[in-house]
Structure 1
Amino acid sequence: MRLQTKSLRSKLVIFCILVLLIPTIVIGISTYQTTKSELNEAGRNQLKQNVKMVIAMITLMNQQVETGKLTLEEAQEKVRQELLGPKNADNVRPMKQEYLVGKTGYPWAVNREAISVMNPNNEGQNLIDVKTEDGVMLGKEIVSVGTSGGGFLTYKYKLPGNVNRVETKVNYVEVDPHWGWIVGCGAYYSEFNSSANLILYMVGLISVISLLAGIVIVYYFAGRFTKPILQIAQKLNVVADGDFTVEAVKVKSKDEIAELARDFNHMIENMRKFVQTVHASSRQVATSSAELRISAEQTSQATEQITISITESASGAEDQKNSLQGAMRSLEEVAIGMQHIAKSSGSISESSADTSGMAQAGGAAIEKTVEQMSSIFQSVHESDTVVKLLDQRTKEIEGMLKVISDISAQTNLLALNAAIEAARAGEHGRGFSVVADEVRKLADQSNQSTMQIAKLIEEIHGDMTKTIRTMGKVKEEVESGMDIATEAKQKFSEILLSTGQISQQIEELASLTQQMSASLQEVSRSGDEVSRIAEQASDRSQNIASAAEEQLASMEEVTALATTLANLSEELQSVLGRFKF
């Protein structure tokens, strides 16, 4: 209830805040929009008046041209200097403060070809292809609006000194009737309506102050309104726990909350009287139900003793019959099982004999495998020895080839020296030179053959190295295979011994099961007669037990009803005990 009371106060506070805040915001925003619109309109009028003033100035200068005091060019330049100032070396004219509109607005003019004839920055520039930020062809629009009787032209343009910011700019344009200039004056709307932001700020400040004051006032009065409701809620929490001794709610006002408090006090008083009456009646019911329960329990106990005796007799006969029947079924199942065991024992004996034969054949095969693995191991060992010997021989051949290569090199050198000496001998050494040349060729051929043989020997040596490694792995695998085969041979020997023993034991088991099966059949015939006699005795005992159980059931129902009434009386006493009155 405390949370609900707080929620009610919060709702009142929020409602009053909205009542204060919404009108303030609506009035402030409407005032801001109205002021902004009026300031924009005043700025537009100022632009128009500036253009009218420029046209009037042109009219005065044109009169001096007509009287011959000034040439047309002199009059036009005088207008430019009067409105903007003299042109400096950079073709830029300063802007005079007395003709500015806002902070950046200034008068300007173009001719009917959209060429700038008066401008502080771009005088002489053709504006026909200039496009604004929102896609307006500036030069064409100026000429179109000016020659159509004049008017306002609005477009998006970058702020001077801040090219990243684009705002709305408005211009008023009109055609001068004397020189044909299209005179204009433009400025940004933000330069006109910036003072409207102050109104928006004041509205926000007033809204915040009103909101804070309203929260304090509303919170105070909401607390006064909800205080009696909170008292009622607290007392209801106490009453919900069973305490009717709470004091009456005291309210001095005469409104609906006071009426609610009086109704609450009246309700608590009526409930207190009702609980007192119920409490007194429950005591009388509890006393009567206790006496009835004692009488019913005594009668029920006497009947129960009789029923138990009869039931035990019937139960004993029934149990005896069931036990005999169960024993007979068990004997039959055992006899059937023994017959199955005898048959299965014969089958197992035959399977054991077959398994023994297979184990003997497997042992012989494993023994033959061991012999073959031993022969393979011997062959691999001999091959490994031969390969290693062959590798040694290839190394010796490499040494011989090196000697032959050295001899060929020496022979080649000697043949070269002989050829040089023969050349020195001239005609006498020509024949010797031919022989020396042939010897040198033979030496070269021998050297090349030796190199080829050495390369071939090197390849053979590499293959022999791989073969040696492979033979080593094969030797290890063969050794592992011999170990596994030997172990398998030993396992088969153990299996053969075990199957022989199992076969003998199964034959003995088959003989015993046949003897037991014959004995069980004899016992089963004797048990059938005993079961028939026990079934007759059980039927007589059940008839007597049924009559006794019906009598006991009736007494138990009376006892149960008395017990239920007593329990309900106790529960009612327990519930009423939680109330205070």
Structure 2
Amino acid sequence: MKQMEEIETEKAGVPLQKKFTLLIILIIFGAAIINTVSYFTLESQLSDSIVINTAGRQRMLSQKMSKEVATYALGIRRDANREKALQTMDLFDRSLKALIKGNEQWKVPATKDSKILKQLLVVQKTWSQFRPKLESVLGEQNSSQVSEELRMALAQDLNLLVVSDKVVKLYEQQAQQKIQNLQMIMVISFFILLVCVGFIHWFTVHFITQPIRGVSAMMKDIAQNEGDLTYRFTVKLRDEIGDLQSWFNHFLNTIQSIIKDINTNSIHLNDSSKTIKGSAIEAEKVIDDILAGTHTRAAAIRKADPILQEMNRSSTAVSQQFEELIQESSETESSAVEGTEAIRRIIASMDKINQNSKKIGGIVNVITGISNQTNLLSLNAAIEAAKAGEYGKGFAVVADQVKTLAEQSKNSVFEINHLIEMSAADVHEGDRLILQTGEILHALSLHVQKNTAKIGDFSKIIHDQNFKIGEVAEIFSVVLQISDNNEIHLKNLADQTREQTQTAEEMNLMAKDLKRLVDRFEI
């Protein structure tokens, strides 16, 4: 970690709010003092203006009453001027007393300045000397005496005017001094204000602006993605600024931890996105292969479906043919049984023919014997005819014909006997063949019975197979529908996998951007 940035500040024992409160109290207190002094100074100036006006009026009153007394002495409107002169003298006297002792009605304060008071006493003494002379002038009726008194009074009036003028000047000097004091107070207040403003500026810069600028600069660096998160503030203040620095250090620690986690996670995210992308690509290939296989299987199932339908129809036809074959086998069995019975009847008939042949042989033998005897008789007849001569020729002819018939009969009998023997042999052979045929027909009947049973069993198997083929056809239809649905789902899955691949690429780019952003920070 780099060397930490330090903000050199003095330790403070009170919070910033109390500092500002104390500073504001001091400023308010100083301003209150200045305003109080200024107020009382201005109030004093106001009373001084009344006093100065009163003191200045004293000079005017001294001149006025001298003029009125002189006018009275000259005999011009004496009563009116005498009355005016007495009123002016009374006003002068009351004004002088007000300047010395004060007068609330006139808002004239009592004079406390010893120098002015001393001069007022001089005026009072001069007035005490001047007044009787004026009263003497106003009381005289003799013109010559009035003139003398007037001359002496006017001479005294000059002294009263001089001492009164000195009082006015002293009041003016006092007022001028107060104005100078007020100016001095204003100048001092201005410099105090400058000092206060400078102190506030130093305090604000030293204790507030500089630490806040440090925090602001750090925040600016972080906001501009160029911050060094290894910097920390050395907290030396025990106020709100110190709390701000302390909490900002905690904030930097948290941000640094988060940035480190983000950096680690961005690396993992980059690796994971690459892995996901590779897996998605492989999955996309596998899904494409599965989709191709599913498409091939669906095509095969579509091809197999009509074959199964044809097998089902063929199996049904075979089952029907087997039923017909069973029926024909039953008929063949019946025919075989009937043939066996017929063979038996034929054998019986052949036995009868054999017996009749034997009887015919006996008859033929009898005929042969008769033929032999007839031949002998014809021979005897021929001999007797030869013996008879001419008379015996007709009998010889008969005997010869009888001999010829006997020979023919004998020959015929021989042929018949030969035929009978041959017939007997044929009958015997036919009997043997018929017996053999009967045995064959019996065996055939047994085989037909067995085959009929087997054909029945096979027909049942064919029927069951036909039913199962129907079920297989239905299953193939369901499998085809499922295959079509799977193909649709696989296409959707392939699209989703492509989107996942695209998302993985975007995640990879985001991870790179995030890594690039994180690399801007010094952690």
- Give me the TM-score of the superposition, normalised by structure 2: 0.36
- Give me the TM-score of the superposition, normalised by structure 1: 0.33
User: Greater helix percent: which structure?
Assistant: 2
User: Greater strand percent: which structure?
Assistant: 1
* Relative contact order higher in (CA < 8 Å, ≥ 6 apart): 2
